[in-house]
Amino acid sequence: MLPTVTLSTSEARRETVIRSAVTVFARLGYLGTPVSAIAEHAEISTAYVFKLFPRKEDLFVAALGRCFNLIQNALEVGAAALADQAPEVVLAAMGSAYAALITDRSLLMLQVHAQSAATVPEIAAALRDGLGQIVSFVKARSLAPDQAVQQFIAYGQLCHLITVANLDDDATDWARLLTKGIQHF
């Protein structure tokens, strides 16, 4: 039996605030989200949120860090479930695990909002760090060649575009061209 980890009240509230931040920032974006909305969602006072995260940027960066950690965990679970560890098989499993992870769209939309708020230096740095974390992980875990890793990431970005723009059911020629062979949950 694994030992249980007990978080202090401050640590538990920090976790609650970060979970709420992922949800609320994903819905409203960085610029559209007042810290009070995250506090309300977390059922914690705004003052306490600012005690944990002195600036809104700090809270967004923490939420984005959580997002990339969840993505990496999902990719690892997808890869670890395979008997065949050939790079192309591992990449396919990682892609499927990621597609399943973003069915709730919060993590997907948080990434989209991070891209739109990348003029904020702290957010741009966190976005680059998170992307670097994922690319490095995919490369090391899959043992795929660089071009295959690049295609994996590019394919994921295309899936983001298809999902955000709701192109799955679009019957126009150009949308069908982009979505051909791509399935989402």
Residue 185 pLDDT level (bands cut at 50, 70, 90): low
Residue 152 CA to residue 157 CA, distance in Å, equals 9
Q: Answer yes or no: pTM beyond 0.75.
A: yes
CA 109 to chain centre: 8
Q: Count CA atoms closer than 13 A to 156's CA, side-chain side.
A: 27
Q: Give pLDDT tens digits for 156-177.
A: 999 899 989 989 889 999 999 9
Helical segments of the chain, H only: 9-32, 35-42, 46-52, 56-80, 87-101, 106-116, 121-142, 146-164, 173-179
> For 118, which DSSP code?
T
Contact (CB, 8 A) for 82 and 102: no
Q: Which two tokens stand for residue 148?
A: 């295959």
Instruction: Calculate mean pLDDT across residues 85-95.
Output: 95
Residue 1: predicted pLDDT: 55
Q: Give pLDDT tens digits for 19-78.
A: 999 999 999 999 999 999 999 999 999 999 999 999 999 999 999 999 999 999 999 999
- For the chain, what is the mean pLDDT? 93
Q: Which two tokens stand for residue 112?
A: 């989209």
CA 173 to chain centre: 30
Report domain extents, the chain.
Answer: 56-179
Spatial neighbors of 69 by CB under 8 A, at least 6 apart, are: none
Return the number of other C-beta atoms located less than 10 Å from residue 42's C-beta.
23
Q: Which CATH architecture has domain 56-179?
A: Orthogonal Bundle (1.10)
